[in-house]
Amino acid sequence: MWCPKSIRPHLFFLFTGMIFPGCARQGPRSVTPAFYHWQTTFNITSAEREYLDSLGCRKLYVKLLDVGRSENSGEITPYSLLDASEPGNITGMDIVPVVFITNEVFKNTTNGQLDWLAGKVAGVLTGFEKTLNTGLINEIQIDCDWTPSTREPFFLFLQKIRSLLPENARLSATIRLHQYKFPEQTGVPPVDRGMLMFYNTGDIESAGDQNSIFYPADAQKYVAGAAAGYPLPLDLALPVFSWGLVYRDDDLWKIIPEIPDATLKDTSRFVAFPGNTREISPRFSVKNGTFLSGHYLRPGDMLRIEAVSPALLYEAARLAAKTDLADHTTVAFFQLDTLALRRYPVQLLDSVCRTICIPQ
């Protein structure tokens, strides 16, 4: 869409709802923007709603529940249940509850345990729907990085959970890049749609300077040579988040949410590594013991800051456009928080969606 420079800023928000239908005319793929909500309290603020409306976003993937195994007993344990008692202004939003399940849950799992887990998840979903009181939920997503050794119990769980869902509810699952490229090894989950997770491509355990959130060369390895015609229609998830990784004795110790730049400029606590540039993930050595987001960092600990710059986000979009995405693709940005509102302007994300529209 073209308009004179003098009125573009004013017309952008007026016409933003028209951008994505127009996008489809540029190529064979249409795009719907969405966001992941990953906090433990579901409360959409007025600033977040204004941001979503400006992007023309009417869909939220909301993490409802985490499921893992207890470190002490080894038992399957649901935890981090979402507080959705005051969701804020979600009128007109399509809410997709997401259940995150660790791969360990499906190791040495009995049929009875799968029945119990499916019933537990279905009950939580029903309770969430009643809490929101916004009508029927049309889609449920299961997020699990399964492996060839856990595919059979995980797929069986998906079949069990589907049997407990409303008849018209759509079931989707996240698809990692290794699962996308090697479906003959990992299998294809028995769901209606997949969400291709186009991030976390690097080695988070390594204490080097490579960005583990998104590193183009790593992503390219999964895109190149992937067979055409993935058996599921695929949507796409792209990263708009940052974090700090703390390494102790060269081992990953903690993951800390976004760390303000002003904190890292405190030279009494942190010393920047020589050679830090924007092209790599900057690293800092802890000079004196200090607390950061409730964690005590010892002298000698190493802190690596990882973020997705606009340029890196565009590169991810260009690579993702080469994958076998659905003709009508949802592009979900991970995740909705104050960082996204501050660092990723609506115009930027709109342009990223346009990039996805045209297969490369």
Residue 150: which residues within 8 A CB-CB, separation 6 or more? 103, 106, 107
Domain positions in the chain are 19-242+307-357, 251-297
- How high is the mean pLDDT of the chain? 89
**For residue 235, which phi and psi values (nearest 5 degrees)?**
-95, 180
Q: What is the pLDDT of residue 260?
A: 83
CA 32 to chain centre: 16
Confidence bin at 27 (pLDDT 50/70/90)? low
Share of the chain above pLDDT 70, in %: 91
* Mean pLDDT confidence for 29-50: 96
Residue pLDDT, tens place only, 284-338 = 999 999 999 899 999 999 999 999 999 999 999 999 999 999 999 999 999 999 8
Count Cβ atoms below 10 Å from residue 118 Cβ, excluding itself: 20
Q: What is the pLDDT of residue 128?
A: 94
pLDDT category of residue 258 using cuts at 50, 70 and 90: confident
Q: Which residue has the higher pLDDT, 228 or 21?
A: 228
Q: How far apart are CA 71 and CA 66, in angstroms?
A: 14
User: Which pLDDT score, from 0 to 100, does residue 279 have?
Assistant: 58
pLDDT at 274: 86
Determine the distance from the C-alpha atom of residue 260 to the mean position of all C-alpha atoms in its chain, rounded to a whole number: 21
Mean pLDDT, to the nearest integer, of 126-151? 92
Q: State the Cα torsion 53-59-63-64 to the nearest 10°.
A: 110
136 against 146, higher pLDDT = 146
* pLDDT value, residue 19: 40
User: Does the pLDDT at position 342 exceed 50?
Assistant: yes
**Contact call for residues 31 and 327 (beta carbons, < 8 A):** no
pLDDT over 50 at 10, yes or no? no
How far is 38 from 165, CA to CA, in rounded Å? Answer: 23
Residue 251: pLDDT above 50? yes
Band (162; pLDDT cuts 50, 70, 90): very high
Task: Give the pLDDT of residue 277.
Answer: 64
User: Whole-structure pTM over 0.85, yes or no?
Assistant: yes
CATH of domain 19-242+307-357: 3.20.20.70
Q: Are 210 and 306 in contact (CB under 8 A)?
A: no
CA angle 237, 242, 246 (to 5 degrees): 125
Say how many residues make up the chain.
Answer: 360
Does the structure show a pLDDT above 90 at 266? yes
Q: CB burial class (10 A; 0-12, 13-18, 19+) of residue 301?
A: buried
- Give the least confident one: 11-25, 84-98, 127-141, 257-271: 11-25
**Does 11 have pLDDT greater than 50?**
no
* Confidence (pLDDT) at 328: 95
C-beta separation of 219 from 236 below 8 A: no
pLDDT tens digits, 75-125:
999 999 999 999 999 999 999 999 999 999 999 999 999 999 999 999 999
Judged against a pLDDT cut of 70, whether residue 20 lies above it is answered with no
pLDDT at 16: 37
Question: Mind listing the pLDDT tens digit for each residue in 269-294?
Answer: 999 998 776 557 899 999 999 999 89
- Rounded Cα distance, 331 and 325, in Å: 10
Distance CA 337, CA 360 (A): 30
Q: Looking at residue 210, what is its pLDDT?
A: 87
Higher model confidence: residue 268 or residue 26?
268
The stretch 218-239 carries a mean pLDDT of: 94
Please report the pLDDT score of residue 17 as a whole number: 38
- The CA distance from 207 to 209, in Å, is 7
